[in-house]
């Protein structure tokens, strides 16, 4: 996958652009990134924000080694399917974006 393909996949699956990088947030703090995808020239890294505020790389791979899963579309080669709680965090972020777009409050007659 290329950087553009990874970015498009991420944005379609609940990630949002924060500080120029596809990122996931805590549901309780939707503007603060806790996981981000750092798209470099030849590699992509998945980084997690530590409680002290420092970013730590948890996985990474060259673009040539990252392939979309045929069934789910999830990029294989980055360990996204093996990081505990990661798919749940993606689902929560996607749900929050979908429900935010639905508007709020009761309908007026």
Angle CA 75–31–15, to nearest 5: 15
Average the pLDDT over each of 5-9, 61-65, 97-101 and give the range with the smallest value.
97-101
Per-residue confidence band for 104, with pLDDT thresholds at 50, 70 and 90: low
Domain regions of the chain by residue span: 3-100
Higher pLDDT, 39 or 82: 39
Residue pointed to by tokens 């505990």: 84
Phi, psi of 9 (to 5 degrees): -60, -45
Element (H, E) at 75: strand 75-76
pLDDT value, residue 108: 46
């Amino acid at each position: 996958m290329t950087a553009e393909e990874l970015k498009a996949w991420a944005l379609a699956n609940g990630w949002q652009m924060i500080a120029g990088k596809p990122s996931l947030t805590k549901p309780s703090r939707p503007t603060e990134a806790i996981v981000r995808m750092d798209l470099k020239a030849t590699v992509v890294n998945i980084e997690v924000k530590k409680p002290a505020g420092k970013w730590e790389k948890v996985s990474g791979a060259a673009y040539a080694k990252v392939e979309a899963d045929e069934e789910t579309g999830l990029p294989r080669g980055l360990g996204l399917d093996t990081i505990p709680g990661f798919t749940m965090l993606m689902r929560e972020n996607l749900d929050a974006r979908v429900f935010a777009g639905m508007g709020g409050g009761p309908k007026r007659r």
